[in-house]
Amino acid sequence: MASTTQCLASLARLSLRVPARPMAISTIPNFLLPSVATPLVRYASKKSSGGNNNMRKRVVKKKKAYKTFRSYDMTNMDQYSLCDAMRYLRAFEVGSPPTSVKYEVAVKLKTQKNGPVLRNRIRLPFPVKTDTRIAVICPEDSPLALEAQQLGAVAVGEESLFEAIRQGNIQFNKLICHKESEAALKKANVGKLLGPKGLMPSAKTKTLTTDLKGTMQEMIGADEFRERNGVVRLAIGQLGFTPQMLSDNLKAFMGQVKTDMNQIDDSHVKLLDEVVLSSTSGPGFSLNGKLNPSGESLKIEDLESVM
């Protein structure tokens, strides 16, 4: 056994030696590395030349593309009669002026996303909007301009009317163009200003006409509707309307919607899915086709199909 003196001499010799050059981490076997040094070791994650990619590719599932708008099962859904829906909506509108709050109906359709849309104008038995202001595009100081003024147009003319539109001075909510001024309308290039507001005259909306009197009389009290995302919306009454007044307007509107649906090509099928009544600040109530809780029907074939 070595003595204490020999052990101390051995330790002294070891302390005088030049420390060895540390080995690079990359040359040290992995099993000799401490756990804290393991993250320093990097592994190739890209596909090496001549080898296979061992990384598992993440498969991204494609969402199913639906050709029709989403439809829900109405079997267990609560539905209300027209009177009940009106009573609940009036509770939400307590304190609001009767003429400022509007009842709105939304007719949901089963239809294709890329199919034709419903678009028309209807004159309800009890008009909802009473502030119709019509402007007429026609030659300046002509018999047509005089006729339009006599019929109650708030603005008449061509260049003077176009300049007011460019300046944002739009004092009307309906715009009619006579056929004689169609070229002037195209040359004025005001479609970018009128289009977003829904005021651009066109033959499709029956606002490009040769009969000013007939068109203006039809537009006073008439309302336009258009299908968007499979839903047709229209304000069909004011808060002060009675259930019978609202029922008459609803019958007229649903009848017009059904007529427009029948005029579409058979290759694009449209079916009624749901009819919802709402108000300006109230929620929507799905209608069951009844006028009152006693079971009296509205006698609308369109509503009976969604009961």
Q: pLDDT band for 254, please (50, 70, 90 cuts).
A: very high
Residue with token string 């006028």? 291
pLDDT over 60 at 305, yes or no? no
Mean pLDDT of 133-142: 89
Give this prediction's pTM. Answer: 0.60
Q: Which residue has the higher pLDDT, 43 or 271?
A: 271
Helix 82-92, helix 243-262: angle, nearest 10: 120
Q: How many CA atoms lie within 13 A of 99 on its CB side?
A: 4
Looking at this protein, which amino acid is placed at residue 182? E
Per mean pLDDT, which range of 7-16, 70-79, 115-124, 142-151 is the poorest?
7-16
Q: What is the pLDDT of residue 307?
A: 35
pLDDT higher than 80, residue 255: yes
Exposed e or buried b per residue across 256-292, where buried means at least 16 C-beta atoms within 10 angstroms of its C-beta: bbbebbeeeeeeeebebbbbbbbbeebeebbbbbbbe
Please tell me the total number of residues recorded for the chain in this structure: 307
- Evaluated on CA atoms 31, 34, 38, 41, the torsion sign reads negative
Task: In whole angstroms, give the CA distance from residue 286 to residue 278.
Answer: 9
Over 70: is that where the pLDDT of 2 sits? no
What is the pLDDT at residue 29?
59
DSSP state of 158: S
Distances (CA, A) of 35 to 30, 31, 41, 45, 230: 10, 9, 11, 21, 62
Predicted confidence (pLDDT) per residue in 20-65, tens digit? 555 555 555 555 555 554 454 555 555 555 555 555 667 667 776 7
**Topology at the third CATH level for domain 134-219:** Rossmann fold (3.40.50)
- Cα distances from 270 to residues 264, 290, 306, in angstroms, run 8, 23, 13
Q: What's at 300, amino acid-wise? A: I
The whole-number pLDDT of residue 77 equals 85
In the chain, the percentage of residues whose pLDDT exceeds 90 is 21
What pLDDT, in 10s, does the model give residues 191-231? 888 888 888 888 888 889 888 888 887 787 778 899 998 99
**CA dihedral of residues 172, 176, 180, 185 (deg, nearest 10):** 60
**Are the C-beta atoms of 172 and 212 separated by less than 8 Å?**
no
Give start-end residues of each CATH 3.40.50.790 domain in the chain. Answer: 134-219
CB atoms within 10 A of CB 173: 15
pLDDT tens profile 73-129: 777 888 899 999 999 999 999 888 887 889 999 999 988 888 888 988 888 888 887
Strands 208-209 and 174-178: parallel
- On whether the CB atoms of residues 54 and 96 are closer than 8 A, the answer is no
CATH 3.30.190.20 segments of the chain? 82-129+223-304
Q: Which one, of 153, 156, 163, lies nearest residue 137 by Cα?
A: 156
Reading the block at residue 11, the tokens are: 């330790």
pLDDT given at position 195: 86
Give mean pLDDT, residues 134-138.
Answer: 90
CATH number of 82-129+223-304: 3.30.190.20
pLDDT bin (cut points 50, 70, 90) of residue 303 is very low
